């Protein structure tokens, strides 16, 4: 592909698109946003369509699409785009199931286009520094604490409580995307999932992992946290105690901050997408999604008090 801006369409104009995708694209010279498709939302100053089918039919010059609808609906949209030979950017999580995304990988290859599973938290500014630190020492144990207030971050978003909506694993998969990047390969040994009696997805989860060399890793997810929010990964190592906090924005060793920068995750995601489009490759890591699937498969279900957002 030439160095001309990639003609991009965006599908699913909701909160994440307005908060993150549109601001990132507005500053990125690698793209020209030429169309949008959404049942309800619209993007100003470009053609808007009610469905991805209508967008693809009316905008043949599209080279790529960014799919930002809930994961339960992403597979069908991705198949349409890939079959039309468009490169596809998948918001996280990349699909409702591992097998769906595996099929999309094969379809992208068959059609000679690129597929990108966009784990945005991996692009938080201190993640690579944490990975380098852990790679330079011996880890004794690790813990993931990801606790936030769903009413603040997902107001009136009923899809997250529906089957396939992930519940607390919607933010939890962000933690897993970082953990699978900076820690040794790990596997779930036990899990408990707390389901509100009036919801079909969990509001909290308590998970024990072990790595291939026996390292213990615990994970606590909770969507009922009020006050300060917690997005932390901790590790006890021979070189000191590591805390990666703020969702990956700040790294401290033995209480001393060694890396902290402003968040720029979505600009970095779109930079990476442009790289793979122009290189003619794909970037689809399924490890975070696989861990979510394993948690649902192995987890004991606890019914807890009804939740109203």
92 is catalytic: yes
Angstrom CA distances, 266 to 88, 111, 120, 302, stand at 15, 26, 6, 35
Predicted local distance difference test score (pLDDT) of residue 109: 97
Predicted local distance difference test score (pLDDT) of residue 3: 75
Predicted local distance difference test score (pLDDT) of residue 210: 96
The one-digit pLDDT tens for each residue of the chain (309 residues) are 457 999 999 999 998 999 999 999 999 999 999 999 999 899 999 999 999 999 999 999 999 999 999 898 999 999 999 999 999 999 999 999 999 999 999 999 999 999 999 999 999 999 999 999 999 999 999 999 999 999 999 888 888 999 888 999 999 999 999 999 999 999 999 999 999 999 999 999 999 999 988 999 999 999 999 999 999 999 999 999 999 999 999 999 999 999 998 889 999 999 999 999 999 999 999 999 999 999 999 999 999 999 876
List strands edge to edge, sheet with 186-196. 256-260, 250-253, 240-245, 230-237, 139-147, 216-222, 204-211, 186-196, 300-304
Interstrand relation of 216-222 and 139-147 (parallel, antiparallel or unpaired): parallel
Instruction: Please choose, from the candidates 85, 105, 76, 83, the residue with its C-alpha nearest in 3D space to the C-alpha of residue 12.
Output: 76
Residue listed under structure tokens 């693809």: 56
Q: Determine contact, residues 94/67, Cβ cutoff 8 Å.
A: no
Predicted local distance difference test score (pLDDT) of residue 189: 96
The residue annotated as part of the active site, out of 86, 92, 147, 250, is: 92
Cα distance between residue 263 and residue 47, in whole Å = 30
pLDDT, tens digit (0-9, with 9 covering 90-100), for 124-163 = 999 999 999 999 999 999 999 999 999 999 888 888 999 8
Predicted local distance difference test score (pLDDT) of residue 218: 98
- At residue 307, φ and ψ (nearest 5 deg) are -120, 135
pLDDT, tens digit (0-9, with 9 covering 90-100), for 24-61 = 999 999 999 999 999 989 999 999 999 999 999 999 99
Predicted local distance difference test score (pLDDT) of residue 1: 43
Cα distance between residue 75 and residue 115, in whole Å = 12
Predicted local distance difference test score (pLDDT) of residue 154: 87
């Amino acid at each position: 592909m030439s160095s001309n801006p990639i003609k991009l369409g965006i599908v699913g104009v909701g909160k994440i698109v307005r908060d993150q995708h549109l601001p990132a694209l507005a500053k990125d010279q690698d793209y020209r946003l030429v169309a949008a498709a959404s049942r309800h939302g619209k993007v100003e100053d470009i053609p808007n369509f009610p469905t991805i089918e209508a967008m693809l039919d009316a905008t043949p010059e599209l080279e790529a699409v960014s799919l930002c609808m809930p994961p339960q609906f992403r597979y069908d949209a991705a198949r349409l785009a890939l079959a039309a030979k468009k490169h596809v950017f998948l918001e996280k999580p990349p699909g409702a199931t591992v097998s769906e995304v595996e099929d999309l990988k094969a379809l992208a290859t068959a059609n000679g286009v690129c597929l990108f599973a966009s784990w945005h938290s991996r692009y938080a500014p201190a993640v690579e520094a944490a990975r380098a630190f852990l790679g330079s020492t011996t880890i004794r144990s690790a813990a993931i604490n990801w606790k936030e207030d769903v009413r603040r971050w997902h107001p009136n978003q009923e899809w997250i409580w529906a089957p396939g909506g992930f519940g607390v694993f919607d933010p939890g998969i962000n933690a897993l995307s970082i953990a699978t990047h900076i820690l040794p390969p790990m596997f779930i040994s036990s899990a408990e999932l707390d389901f509100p009696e009036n919801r079909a997805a969990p509001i909290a989860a308590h998970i024990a992992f072990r790595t291939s060399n026996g390292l213990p890793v615990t994970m606590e997810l909770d969507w009922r946290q009020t006050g300060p929010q917690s997005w932390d990964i901790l590790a006890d190592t021979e070189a000191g105690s590591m805390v990666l906090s703020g969702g990956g924005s700040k790294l401290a060793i033995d209480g001393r901050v060694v890396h902290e920068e402003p968040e720029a995750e979505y600009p970095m995601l779109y930079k990476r997408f442009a790289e793979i489009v122009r290189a003619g490759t794909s970037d689809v890591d399924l490890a975070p999604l696989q861990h979510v699937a394993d948690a649902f498969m192995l987890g004991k279900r606890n019914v807890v008090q009804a939740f109203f957002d």
